[in-house]
Amino acid sequence: MKNKENTVNKDNFKKLIDAINFDGKAKFNMQCFIGKLSVTSEFIENSIINGNDLASEFSAHQIDWVETTDLFNCNSVGCIAGFATALANDWKTPEWLKPTEYDKKLFQGYQNWAPDFEEAANEFLGLSKGQGQKLYYNTDDCVWKYLRYWESSRYPELQYLDDDDDINDWDDEDVEIDFSTIDYKTAVDVLTRIMNEEIILGDWYSDIRVV
């Protein structure tokens, strides 16, 4: 397999960075591709919409279908792959995310859209499958674990889910990143560094370099 490092689509990376920078305070959340925040307080919802709280700090759940023309609406949130998919489709809902009555009965309200979001985002950004997984998911060798381990002073907000006292190496399988600590500013900074080839995501396991 040909390694795709250094072949990212910089124009589309810039579009993604601009979109998250513009709307990420109220709409960026790494816990779902496209979803809704799991908050029940109208006060908190309004506080997020008004920019007083970060959407990334709250739990979110993936929605099963999108029945509107626009992929994002006023209370939608999305992750890096979700924003990239929206941009790739000019912010319109792709056909594969629109339900038919048969779909609703067959899947009974559940469908795994991860491969579809992953493929759409990778194609838009010029990433291979291995590169995309390091960026979108909480895998053992994701870029977020790499940066938490090696560059914690640059990203002090980025935290593990559990105690980190016994970590053996950056890709230790026993620890995960708390994705609620990836705010939109952190995402924009990391995406900018990937676009500028400061962070190189390789295809293979643990193949991440900072140059």
Q: Answer whether 9's CB lies under 8 Å from 195's CB.
A: no
Residue 4: inside a domain, yes or no?
no
Specify burial of residue 36 (Cβ count, 10 A radius: 0-12, 13-18, 19+): middle
Residue 201: inside a domain, yes or no?
yes
> To which residue do tokens 């790739």 refer?
88
| Residue 167 falls in which region: left (phi positive, over 0), alpha (psi -120 to 50) or beta | beta
DSSP string spanning 114-152?
HHHHHHHHHHHHT--HHHHHHHHS--TT-HHHHHHHH-T
- Which pLDDT score is estimated for 73? 77
SS3 (DSSP) at 76: strand
- Which pLDDT score is estimated for 165? 64
> To which residue do tokens 């990778």 refer?
122
- Which pLDDT score is estimated for 1? 39
Between the alpha carbon of residue 66 and those of residues 76, 145, 159, the distances in Å are 11, 32, 32
Residue 3: inside a domain, yes or no?
no
The better pLDDT of the pair 45, 16 is held by 16
- Which pLDDT score is estimated for 18? 98
Residue 37 banded pLDDT, cuts 50, 70, 90: confident
Residue 1: inside a domain, yes or no?
no
- Which pLDDT score is estimated for 2? 42
Residue 131: inside a domain, yes or no?
yes
Distance CA 9, CA 124 (A): 7
- Residue 156: alpha-carbon gap to chain centroid: 19
Q: Average pLDDT of 173-198?
A: 96
SS3 (DSSP) at 187: helix
Residue 20: inside a domain, yes or no?
yes
Q: Which of 51-65, 101-115, 135-149 has the highest mean pLDDT?
A: 135-149
Which domain range does residue 200 map to?
10-210
Distance CA 4, CA 202 (A): 7
- Starting at the earlier edge strand, list the strands of the sheet with 76-78: 60-62, 34-37, 76-78
SS3 (DSSP) at 77: strand
The better pLDDT of the pair 48, 161 is held by 161
Q: How does the average pLDDT of the chain come out, rounded?
A: 87
Q: Average pLDDT of 163-189?
A: 90
Q: Answer whether 191's CB lies under 8 Å from 19's CB.
A: no
Q: Which residues contact 106 (CB under 8 A, 6 or more apart)?
A: none
Q: Average pLDDT of 37-55?
A: 74
- Which pLDDT score is estimated for 107? 58
Q: Which residues contact 60 (CB under 8 A, 6 or more apart)?
A: 29, 31, 32, 35, 36, 37, 38, 77
Q: Average pLDDT of 65-94?
A: 87
Number of domains in the chain: 1
Residue 22: inside a domain, yes or no?
yes
Residue 181: inside a domain, yes or no?
yes
Q: Is the pLDDT of residue 133 over 90?
A: yes
Percentage of the chain surpassing pLDDT 70?
A: 87
Q: Which of 2-6, 66-70, 99-103, 205-209 has the highest mean pLDDT?
A: 205-209
Q: Average pLDDT of 159-171?
A: 84
Residue 39 banded pLDDT, cuts 50, 70, 90: confident
